[in-house]
Amino acid sequence: MRRATKIKILIPLVALMFFGAYAWHKHVQKENTITGYLGNRVLDEISGIAASGVNEDIYYVHNDSGDTSRFFAIKPNGKLISTIFFKGDKKEPQGVADCEDIAVGPGPDSTKNYVYIGDIGDNSVDRKYITLYRFAEQTSWADKNSIHNAMPVPVHFKYPDGPKDAETLMIDPLEKLIYIVSKRRDSVKVYTSPLIYKRDDTLILTKRATLFFPGYKPFKWITAGDISKDGTQVLLKSYEKVYYWQRKPNEHVWQTLLRKPRLLPYTMEKQGEGIGFTPDGKGYYCVSEGVFTPVYYYNLPGK
């Protein structure tokens, strides 16, 4: 093929690729919005986000390893509203070892909403047990510039196949199940346990599924997840991608996760380890570790 002919073909192709990339960039921009920035230095290692079940426009976040036993109520613009302290494990110097995710859902009293914090991180993969803390949610947690002390109901878990590092905690409101998804290795594992338990129980998680996500470690590691308030949608995220599933009627969430996911828009963050649905299930928020990092909101396509 002559040089002149090649040039005539290449120029339109390059232009097409350029405009295609530009269009995709504008599409992603349209799908996400920076609603604000985490506006307080104490919010420096945020590793989870979940929408309040009783307070409008309030989201709960928490720091991971190194922080004490507490979590925070914030606005979507990142403004710190209140701090909620709780008494953790006496065996841990800070009360907690490594809280990695947070969720909101039902519990033992059907008239209340509950916040669940998963002290489930285990970088060394040597913890004898992990701990989940449950709190009855309070409307007073939305009071500005307030500090609260909450009484948790802790439960301890062991894996049936040895310790795991995990950063994903989800609550299935339909089947009343706790979901934990491991983080590392080439494939990750999905575990469940009943949502109703007794204080300080030590329970063995049930292994439900093994999931493989393509990509390179550590970027493919699963760092967060959420189930929508109505139980019909599921999100998992890695450091570079957001995976989405629409749950079918009478389907277990772990069965949902075995189907091929849909990739959703995501702007790669500094160290993105938090994702949570909005209460209406029409969008989701992402947050990252770091001081004054952005709070991203994404519309769910088609919602």
Average pLDDT over residues 185-212: 97
CB 179 within 8 A of CB 191: yes
Provide the residue range defining the domain that includes 100: 3-299
For residue 4, is pLDDT > 70? no
Residue type, 242: V
What share of the chain has pLDDT > 90, as a percent? 87
Number of domains forming the structure of the chain: 1
CATH of the domain at 145: 2.120.10
Q: Measuring CA to CA, which residue among 234, 218, 229 is closest to residue 268? A: 218
Inter-CA distances, 104 with 53, 129, 219, 249, 277, Å: 7, 22, 27, 22, 10
- What pLDDT was estimated at residue 32? 73
The yes-or-no verdict on residue 18 having pLDDT over 80 is no
- Degrees (nearest 5) of the Cα angle 169, 67, 56? 55
CB atoms within 10 A of CB 38: 25
Question: Span 257-269, mean pLDDT?
Answer: 96
Residue 182, classified by CB atoms within 10 Å of its CB into exposed (0-12), middle (13-18) or buried (19+), is buried
pLDDT tens digit sequence for 58-73 = 999 999 999 999 999 9
pLDDT at position 3 over 80:
no
Q: Please, which pLDDT band fits residue 11 given cuts at 50, 70 and 90?
A: very low
Instruction: Give me the phi and psi of 60, to 5 degrees please.
Output: -100, 135
Q: Contact, 142 vs 129, CB < 8 A?
A: no
Helix (H) or strand (E) segment spanning residue 30: helix 3-31
With a CB cutoff of 8 Å and minimum separation 6, the contacts of 36 are 75, 76, 77, 78, 79, 294, 295
Q: pTM above the 0.75 mark?
A: yes
